[in-house]
Each structure stands twice: as structure tokens, then as C-alpha cells.
Amino acid sequence: MGTLVKNGTVVSAEGSQRLDVLLDGETIREVAEGISPAGHTVVDATGLLVMPGAIDVHTHLDMPFGGTTSADDYTTGTQAAAVGGTTSVIDFALQNQSSTLNDALTTWLKKSEGKACVDFSLHMAVTNLHGENGVETLREMQEMVNFGITSFKLFMAYPNVLMINDSLMFQVMQKAAELNALCCIHAENGSAIDIVVSQMIAEGKTEPHYHALSRSPKAEAEATHRSIALADMAGCAVYIVHLSNEAALAELKFMQARGARALAETCTQYLVLSIEDQMPGKSWDEAKFVFTPPLREKKNQDPLWDALADGSLSVVSTDHCPFTMDQKALGKGDFRKIPNGGPGIENRLQILWHFGVNAGRITPEKFVSLACTAPARIFGMTQKGVIAPGKDADILLWDPNEDYTISAATQCMATDYSMFEGWKVKGNAKHVFSRGKQVVKDGKFVGEVGHGKFIKRIANAGGLD
């Protein structure tokens, strides 16, 4: 006896079709027209779209940062993910500069142990190299790949904490190339930004608004170009995270046109929020929107949407890194001390559907590609991202006609605010299955803490090999 999702429209990255989907245990057994309901539990999907469970490849759960720890742990964060239609997340383990990758892995496995409600994987952030010529850390990279962690994060920002220099970046990229792994880059010129930040503080410009002004699109564009050029030199596939503006996009496209193996994501917030609307420099409340890269001028939004439609950007993630307003208050009077990050894991699909599909900017198939299929392909999650026999039964039943009002009062995320407070959207996750178990029913979480498991990924150079 299985679970039969009947009478829905299955949407894949390639097309849409009226098909039934039979789930058997943790996997999909059959996808066909008119599967007989005999002996199965039937879920009526009339009027619903049946999609692969979505994947958020950029989250920071229970992460020490900015003098505090992100507010969602693996339980609240993955509950919020599930309610939003996301059935897998890829979180970031951070190497402490004085420690090893294996220590970071142990720490993050402990954080997640028995706590996740949907499946998860990890990227490993390399922040220092140990041993002669980095030999010990580079050897550990092989161990990470053996463990199923096949992407390495490099921060070109946050000096003295996470930032690496070009020589470290190049060594990691050479090793990643050898391992067929992917390098994920936070692309901002941290050294130049630090100078601007000090100048602003010296001029008494301490409010949240100046966080945004201190980190220019040019600083992001420069680092985007440099990291792709270095990756190209090292023979490594590279994935630019949270690309936020038109200048950085131009560098990405330039290098892609020259044959560099470069992919990139943008995040929900850069598509719909802006300096003009959210951070005009009027109040402390704008600390809600202090994240990095910062919000940009509105004129950057259309080029980002166009790049999603034309394929130069491959993925929409969230960079979910939630802090409460009490935590943000660490930086009252000094924007440098505001913990950087915003909550969004729960709202990614609502925003992408409403402002993307409903607005005619992307098709439903593109939506599936950006949120589900491309993330699985790029990050080597072979069991995820498509609805096909043998794949994990991660299924999202999407109601394109549900009217929903986003609010902190009703969200699962642990923050006391929403970046989209009061926004009315059409389209929402109705039912969600994670490896065959229903985790969301009629929009409410019904899953189990501890159901989510660590997913081993394959090293496939971002699907570009």
C-alpha cells in the first residue's frame, strides 16, 4: 500500500502534465496517467501543482555569527522550511580559523543530530590552511568529499573572522578541481569595504542604512570577477552565492561568455526588497534588513529577474540567517555590530511564485528549475529535485490559487519580525512529503523532529562536468 497523489498537474523543469504519482515508502514508485487507487491512500491533488520538494542551498542554522547565534536551530529552521515547501536544505559548516575541517564537521553534525525535520546537507567553509603548504587542510578536503560534502565555501569578506586571501582561495580551488568539487564564493572585496566602513564610522554614520552604503555593488562586482578568474585559472567550477546586483551580474555573464565554469544564485530578498523601500535611512528598524551583501537600489531587480529567465543565474536561495530584534540591538549605535542576516527560508517559494510566476517573469517550469531541480543537479543531490521512479518521495503540492498574508505572527521561523510583513501573495504550499512522510498538511507542520537525515552528495563540479 502506497500514497497516491491523484488528479494533480505534475510540473517539472521541462514541462507540465496531468499525472498521478505513487509514493512507496521513502521513494517514488510510479508516475503515470490514471494509476488505479486500489489499495492506496489517495491524496486528492485536484487543482494543485505537484512539484519536487524544493531545495534551499544557502542557510545558516544555529550558526555563531556577529557575537551571537542565528535564531533558528535545525528544528525550527527545517520546520519553517517544510511549511514553505522546502524538503532539503544545504547549511554551512564553518571552519574555525585555528581548527580543522573535521572539527567543524563534528560540531555541525552535533548541532543537527536528531533535530532536523527535513533532509539536509552541508557545505564546508574553509577559512584557513594548516600544515606545510596547507597540506593538512587540503587532505581534509578529500575526507569531506568522501563523507559527501562536495562544496567548499570561501568568504572574500568579513576580515579577521572568515575572510581568506587570494593565495588560500587559489589553493583551495586547485584542490577542488582535483576532487571535482564545487567552490562557493561570498564575493565582496572585504579589504576595500573595511576601509569605507571605518571612514563612515569616523564621520558618525552609524545607522543601519550605512551598512548598505558601505558595501558597494562595485566591491561585489570586483570580487565576483576575481573569484571566477582565479577559479578558471585553477580549473575549478565555481558558484557565486547571493549575487545581488547588476554590476556583479555583468562580471558573471562576461566570464560565462568566455567559457569559465561559473554558476550563481540570487536570493529572494534581492529580487523584491530595495534600499529605497526598506532602508531609506529613517529608523533603527531598518536593522531588520542588515545582511550581506546589502539591499541594492531598485534598478537592480529587473536585471536579476531577467538573468533568472535567461539562465545566467541558476538558483534562487534565501541565505536564511535569522536574528531577533534583541540580537540586532547589539549594533544599536554602530552598524558594524549588527548581526548580519535575515529570515527567509519559509517565504522563498511564496515570493518567487507571486512576483515571478504570477507577474509573468518566469514560467512554472522555470520556478521548479530554480527552486528544486537546478539546486539538486548543481550540488550533486542525486535522489532529489525531480519527480521520477526511484527518486526520493519529496513532493510539494502547491496551491497556485491560495491567498496568503505573510506575517511574523504566524510564521514558524524564530524571528520576531518578517522581512515581508503584511505582504499578500497568491500561491502557497498545501501539502508536503519528505521521503514519503507527510510533513505539511493543509499548510500546517505535521512532521517529526528527527525525521530529516544527512544527505551525502556526489562531486560533479556543479553538474558542469
Using CB under 6 A, list all residues that contact ligand URP: 60, 186, 291-292, 319, 321, 340-341
Q: How far is the CB of 158 from ligand URP (least distance, A)?
A: 7
Alpha-carbon span 37 to 421, nearest angstrom: 42
Q: Which is nearer to ligand URP, 6 or 288 (CB)?
A: 288
Q: How far is the CB of 36 from Zn ion (least distance, A)?
A: 46
Q: CB atoms < 10 A from the CB of 242, how many? A: 24
Closest CA to 124 of 97, 146, 102: 102
Of 186, 209, 296, 431, which lies in the binding site for Zn ion, with binding defined by CB under 5 A?
186
20 touches Zn ion by CB under 5 A:
no
Q: Which is nearer to ligand URP, 294 or 364 (CB)?
A: 294
Pick what 340 binds: Zn ion, ligand URP, none; C-beta below 5 to 8 Å, kind-dependent. ligand URP
56 touches Zn ion by CB under 5 A:
no
123 touches Zn ion by CB under 5 A:
no
**DSSP labels, 4-58:** EEES-EEE-SS-EEE-EEEEETTEEEEEETT---TTSEEEE-TT-EEEEPEEEEE
Q: Which is nearer to Zn ion, 251 or 319 (CB)?
A: 319
115 touches Zn ion by CB under 5 A:
no
Nearest to Zn ion by Cβ — which residue? 186
Q: Helix, strand or coil for residue 375?
A: helix
72 touches Zn ion by CB under 5 A:
no
Q: Which is nearer to ligand URP, 340 or 428 (CB)?
A: 340
HSE-CB at 203 with a 13 A cutoff on CA atoms is 10
Q: How far is the CB of 134 from Zn ion (least distance, A)?
A: 22
Q: How far is the CB of 359 from ligand URP (least distance, A)?
A: 26
Q: How far is the CB of 241 from ligand URP (least distance, A)?
A: 7
Distances, alpha carbon 248 to alpha carbons 212, 220, 235, in Å: 16, 6, 21
Alpha-carbon span 211 to 302, nearest angstrom: 23
Distance of CA 122 to the CA centre of its chain: 11
Pick what 341 binds: ligand URP, Zn ion, none; C-beta below 5 to 8 Å, kind-dependent. ligand URP
Alpha-carbon span 376 to 384, nearest angstrom: 6
Alpha-carbon span 185 to 251, nearest angstrom: 14
Distance of CA 115 to the CA centre of its chain: 19
Q: Which is nearer to Zn ion, 91 or 399 (CB)?
A: 91
Q: Which is nearer to ligand URP, 52 or 341 (CB)?
A: 341
Q: Which is nearer to ligand URP, 292 or 373 (CB)?
A: 292
Alpha-carbon span 19 to 465, nearest angstrom: 32
Distances, alpha carbon 73 to alpha carbons 92, 221, 271, in Å: 13, 32, 26
Q: Which is nearer to Zn ion, 2 or 322 (CB)?
A: 322
What does the block give as the cell for 407? 506575517
**DSSP labels, 180-243:** T-EEEEE---HHHHHHHHHHHHHTT--SHHHHHHHS-HHHHHHHHHHHHHHHHHHT-EEEE-S-
Q: How far is the CB of 165 from ligand URP (least distance, A)?
A: 17
Q: How far is the CB of 179 from Zn ion (least distance, A)?
A: 22
Q: CB atoms < 10 A from the CB of 30, how many? A: 15
Q: How far is the CB of 292 from ligand URP (least distance, A)?
A: 4
348 touches Zn ion by CB under 5 A:
no
Between 138 and 177, how does the x/- string for binding to Zn ion read (CB under 5 A)?
----------------------------------------
Q: Which is nearer to ligand URP, 243 or 374 (CB)?
A: 243
188 touches Zn ion by CB under 5 A:
no
Backbone φ, ψ for residue 270 (5° rounding): -75, -20
Residues 291-320 that bind Zn ion (CB under 5 A): 319
What does the block give as the cell for 276? 529605497
- Stretch in the footprint of Zn ion (CB under 5 A) among 73-81, 144-152, 184-192, 223-231: 184-192
Pick what 355 binds: ligand URP, Zn ion, none; C-beta below 5 to 8 Å, kind-dependent. none
Mutual orientation of helices 217-234 and 190-202 as an angle, nearest 10°? 160
- Could you tell me how many residues of this chain bind Zn ion (CB under 5 A)? 2
Q: Which is nearer to ligand URP, 181 or 185 (CB)?
A: 185
211 touches Zn ion by CB under 5 A:
no
Partners of 123 in the β-ladder: 92
